[in-house]
Amino acid sequence: MANTKVYHSGVTIILASASPRRAELLAAAGFTFDVDPAHVDETPIDGEAAGAYARRLACDKARAVAARHPGRVVLAADTVVVLDRRIFGKPADRADAARMLRELSGRDHEVLTAVAVARDGAVDEHLESTWVRFAPMSADEVAWYVASGEADDKAGAYGIQGLASRFVTRIDGSYTNVVGLPVAAVHRMLK
């Protein structure tokens, strides 16, 4: 377990994620949390819809970590980018990242984050949707962004909070959802 942050209710939750972005979002919002990443199989089931996939993974992560911490509140999440009903998870390599960015270029896509809160065997879940529009990207821009390394570990091969912000022309929904955790929804769920 890692750093504990301050949350106004005095309840310390467990973040079942190794994502530094999720930890930063929770800390910025004033939540108290410990970190204990979940390790679950993230292979999609054939024919599984993006929302169902994200929900399944978030719930699996929450249950896995809750089993290690009886009586504690566990928060887990999973984010996917969806284009033409296809799930864009984390790129396998930089060539895969470039492919994703070429496909997102000049298009609208959906970002889905499933959030699961587990405690004492019960799991509450929520699915947040945000639409994002990318400006057209030249081949040089795609190559520059991929070479920055920022795309390496992010769903859809981009981080809206970083260098990729220059390519985002519109967002409809929760900004923090696109970063990786819909903070307002998390707050509602934990109240």
Tokens at residue 166, please? Answer: 């220059």
Set 78, 84, 120, 152: catalytic member: 78
CA distances from 81 to 101, 111, 114, 154 (A): 11, 5, 12, 10
Looking at residue 101, its amino acid is L
Q: Tell me the residue ranges of DSSP E strands in 23-148.
A: 32-35, 74-83, 86-88, 108-119, 122-134
Annotated catalytic, 78?
yes
* Three-point CA angle 118, 120, 123, nearest 5°: 30
What is the residue whose two structure tokens read 């981080």?
A: 159
Question: Helix or strand or coil: residue 11?
Answer: coil
Question: Helix or strand or coil: residue 81?
Answer: strand
Positions annotated as catalytic residues are 78
